[in-house]
Structure 1
């Protein structure tokens, strides 16, 4: 059987690593992108050893203009892209440093756009292919003190909707998963009291977990979602619906 290859950007993070494990269960061979956290990637590769798949780690800093080129150079056969890299900034818009703004725009918008653009010919070569972006609930509804992050995630959602129309006749499906509050390192800066307040706002009364986001990504990549494209799937426990 022909190998199916998926690229996961940000594979060293809590959500990215769970997506990798879930896609390994689905028999995808994996390109695991990371930037600084090599230890997490090595640990993930050990977890993937029981699976009969090929695993290729690729280091690249997608917050720089050259980062996506480094990643593209190491990609060969490709059937799926999971755009998952990102980080957040919590604070007033008036306090944001210009360099931080530039790096976040590059990481969340410019690099995913350029990366997808460069890799589309490889997807078009396949009989069926898919792109899934992991965006955010804030890209749908916006968040005070996360204005830039909200804007960038909203841009990702618009990118997904537009690209889906452009490549639909090439049998490439393009969707997004927009998580709500998920128990990952991204929430470590919040106090226990703040986290309890967030849980109180969520109708299901709890945070999501990375495995639940991974399940949604795997579904959108699968043939079960063969007639789904251009959608942003909220996985948020009923928060801000």
Structure 2
């Protein structure tokens, strides 16, 4: 039975990914930081629906490197990892504080790389390891007011392409799913006019459902995707592509 670690399982996209992978027979470590009650609720539901699989809750503040060793001690088998944790700041570069830059770098890149350093041996055991970053179209197109976020998302893409080459002989694939605008709680502060203007810019005329992002991740975790590595897969409705 394969086991996957889903970082950011408390988010809308992370939860949708957990649902898809559980349906494919994966046992899961569902990572959270603050939304313990939400994760407990859907993990309990998954346990009832898939009694032959294992579902664990694991907590880590990705800004605190000192917590990583204890976090790793809870992971006994890892065949796949999804990095779906993240956030952004909406500010011009001159207004962006150094600690905000550091937080974006830490959560989107440094902590994932530290986890991969420690878990690479586990990922390689079955010669069928999977690593997926949930990136952003801003990683290759850029966004004003989110310059640092765009930078770290671009760094995820560059890292995935390089790391995919490094671990190919170990049977590990490394890819990025790059969503466009997604209907998540992050968009609840947008006005109706702002959402209408955004929808008008998207060729398909709507925001993505988190399940559509999860479906791309589901494919990259499949056996059929064993020859797909080092790619960036946009799921953006034609927006910014």
- TM-score normalised according to structure 2 size: 0.96
Which residues of structure 1 form unaligned runs of 5+?
Answer: none
- Distance in 2 of aligned mates of 1:199 and 1:70: 43
- Distance in 2 of aligned mates of 1:191 and 1:159: 35
- Distance in 1 of aligned mates of 2:68 and 2:190: 31
Residue 226 (structure 2) pairs with residue 237 (structure 1): no
Q: How does 1:15-164 map to 2 (within 5 A)?
A: 15-48=13-46, 49-52=48-51, 53-164=53-164
Shift of 1:183: 0.3
- Distance in 1 of aligned mates of 2:166 and 2:137: 25
Aligned counterpart, 1:175: 175
- Distance in 2 of aligned mates of 1:142 and 1:8: 26
Q: Is the 8 A contact 2:7 2:31 kept in 1?
A: yes
Q: Is the 8 A contact 1:12 1:44 kept in 2?
A: no
Q: Is the 8 A contact 1:11 1:20 kept in 2?
A: yes
Aligned counterpart, 1:12: 10
Shift of 1:97: 2.2
Shift of 1:93: 1.4
Q: Equivalent residue of 1:66, what SS?
A: helix
Q: Equivalent residue of 2:127, what SS?
A: coil
Shift of 1:161: 0.4
Given the superposition, is the C-alpha separation of residues 159 and 67 from structure 1 closer, same or farther in structure 2, using an over 3 Å criterion? farther
Shift of 1:25: 0.3
- Distance in 2 of aligned mates of 1:109 and 1:161: 14
Q: How does 1:180-195 map to 2 (within 5 A)?
A: 180-195=180-195
- Distance in 2 of aligned mates of 1:67 and 1:109: 16
Shift of 1:72: 1.5
Q: Is the 8 A contact 1:132 1:220 kept in 2?
A: yes
Residue 190 (structure 2) pairs with residue 206 (structure 1): no
Aligned length: 239
1:113-163 deviation per Cα after TM superposition (whole angstroms, max 9, x unaligned): 111111001011113111111000100100000111100100011111000
Shift of 1:203: 0.3
Q: Equivalent residue of 1:30, what SS?
A: strand
Shift of 1:188: 2.2
Shift of 1:67: 3.9
Which residues of structure 2 form unaligned runs of 5+?
Answer: none
- Distance in 1 of aligned mates of 2:108 and 2:2: 26
* Cα root mean square deviation, aligned: 1.1
Q: Equivalent residue of 1:40, what SS?
A: helix
Q: Is the 8 A contact 2:128 2:226 kept in 1?
A: no
Q: Equivalent residue of 2:234, what SS?
A: strand
Q: Is the 8 A contact 1:65 1:106 kept in 2?
A: no
